[in-house]
Chain A
Amino acid sequence: MSATAAALSATGIERSASHTAEIYLKEAKYEFLKNLRLRVYTASVISFPLMFYVLFGLVLNSKETIGATNVPTYLIATYGTFGVMGASLFGTASGLAADRGLGWLQVKRASPMPPFAYFAAKVILSMIFSAIVVSLLLVLGISFGGVRLPFAQMVTLLGTLVAGSLPFSAMGLAIGYFAGPNSAPAVINMFYLPLSFCSGLWVPYMFLPKLVRQIALALPPYHLSQLALGVVGAGRHESAATHWELLFAFTLICLGVARIGFQRDQGKLYG
């Protein structure tokens, strides 16, 4: 066999590590640009939490307190959680469901794209938009709500909530693998809205009915919001470690479900 015949059949082409890193960065960059230009995504993910915050935290109730914390500060933590959850769910699930159902993901899979880069890009997108939402809430709270937090606390709050986007990105991947391209937004909201309410993200936890308060203890958004509230001194004095552990377990379960979807995926159409 001649050298070139060997070259035609051998698989000696490798990508260097730096090339692979470059691919991940590009994939994330274009995922971000793609969604940024999608007004539907940007508007709903960013403006809904902000609108609710302005209405319930700045226009109404801004002089009230919940426990020892003033309302504008308290609501940054809860609407921040709400916003992070929305950014992550919509950032991963709807794009994934549409890409799968309509054949785009197949084109990407047929290409040399490292499959993990696709998912990493969506997770990074969710984290970036989560950071944007939380930062804007802080800006609004400080500018108009009299929110006064030490810089270190603001950084910790931002970091906590952005880290908290990971469990919901995992959840979004799980949903995205089982929802159809047209029904995905509805399926997402079926989870998103009840979970948000029952976790005390709209009506603060202590004002929820007793039964709902008990249900909340099992819900991931409750745990993330408690972590965020803990940062601003409004938590229920529960162990932060427990909250993180539960979120971590939830993430693993979601990734497991997503993996099942990944493996059985042969292109689901419509639905």
Chain B
Amino acid sequence: MIATTEYSQSELQANAGTVVASLEAVSKNYEKVRALRNVNFSVRAGEVVALLGPNGAGKTTAVKLLLGLIQPNSGKARVFSGDPTNPQNRLRTGAMLQVGRVPETLRVREHIDLFSSYYTNPLPLEDVLAAAGLEKLRDRKFGDLSGGQRQRTLFALAICGNPDLLFLDEPTVGLDVEARRTLWEEIRRLVDCGKTVLLTTHYLEEADALADRIAVINQGEIIAEGTPAEIKAQTSGKRIRCITSLRPASILQIPGVNDVRQDREAVEIQAREAEPVVRALLARDASLSGLEITSAGLEEAFLALTQDNGQKVNRKN
């Protein structure tokens, strides 16, 4: 009996909330490195979850555990309420992983044909090529593709089986801006069809653009979880730039200042709120000039969140 993977809107709504993939109290070590520490994390049907963290945070380890490629040292990984190594589960999942080598002498359509054959209800080749923007490249050998085209081919391999659950591990790394936006559109189109997606990335902008829910991971622990708006609210702040005779060390003493950096002739100050800090600066240095106040870049805010956590973790150890 072959189960269809096309659900009506009402069925999808009825199933929203079902956990399709989870890590329960999972720890994973690679020799001395603790890649994941007692992580609890779940993905519900029909949502896009982004696992956001810097390199080495444990994102790829989490994905590999959910794909059954590695086993946890403690705790359980569950996919569709079963063990991830169950081959039946793989018939309903698709994965886009970071690879160093893909057979280069096979053509794009041959790669897709082979992967599609593994599934019971694959998408037609034309649909897959269209979804990944590869129609003109069907006969091109993989070795003749550019970086962005290769990523799109790996994406095609992930979706060709029409899976219910999609794992995308850093899907746009190494792509230029245009290629990244194109891939985002393709992912959004899939999500509109009701697929569940677990996405890992180190770009907050990407998580913001695609995810319903973000889990921020650093050094093997989930340090924040919530909607994109909630995460941004936790981490956003202001950047104050000015030319001042005050030394960075004394600026750090001002309450509300998170970080100070020397940038050529000026200093750049990261602070939660600008006004109290600016008042304090002006009070201490009347000759301050070149004052600029901007919203802290998303990337810097994210760094602050993970660096904070990094220091906490190091102090704990």
Contact = CB atoms under 8 A, between A and B. Distances in A.
Interface residues of A, number: 40
Contact of B97 (A7, A33, A103): A103
A8 B82 CA distance: 11
Interface of A: 2, 4-5, 7-15, 19, 22-23, 26-27, 30, 33-35, 37-38, 98-99, 101-104, 106-107, 109-114, 181, 266-267
B117 A26 contact: yes
B14 A4 contact: yes
A23 B164 CA distance: 21
Given A19-B120, A111-B95, A106 B101 contact: no
B115 interface: yes
Contacts, number: 119
B15 A8 contact: yes
Interface of B: 1-3, 7, 11, 14-15, 18, 20, 45, 64, 67-70, 80-82, 86-95, 97-103, 105-106, 110, 113-115, 117-120, 141, 154, 157, 161, 164, 167
**Among B92, B105, B113, B118: residue with most chain A CB under 10 A:** B118
Given A112-B87, A112-B90, 5 more contacts: A14-B2, A15-B120, A23-B118, A26-B114, A110-B68
Nearest to B86: A11
A39 to B, nearest CB: 9
A111 B101 contact: no
Contacts of B110: 30, 33
A30 B113 CA distance: 10
A169 to B, nearest CB: 19
B22 to A, nearest CB: 12
Q: 7 closest pairs, A vs B, by CB? A: A102-B100, A102-B101, A11-B88, A37-B105, A103-B99, A112-B90, A112-B118
A10 B1 CA distance: 12
A9 B2 contact: no
Contacts of B102: 104, 107
A104 B98 contact: no
Nearest to B7: A4
A13 B4 CA distance: 9
B18 A5 contact: yes
A61 B276 CA distance: 97
B105 A181 contact: no
A110 to B, nearest CB: 4
B11 A107 contact: no
B157 A107 contact: yes
A124 to B, nearest CB: 15
Contacts of B105: 33-35, 37-38
A103 B106 contact: no
A10 B45 CA distance: 14
Contacts of A103: 97-101
Given A8-B80, A104-B102, A111-B90, A13 B3 contact: yes
Given A11-B80, A30-B106, A112-B161, A2 B14 contact: yes
A107 B105 CA distance: 17
A13 B2 contact: yes
Contact of B99 (A5, A8, A104): A104
Given A12-B3, A30-B106, A30-B110, A181 B87 contact: no
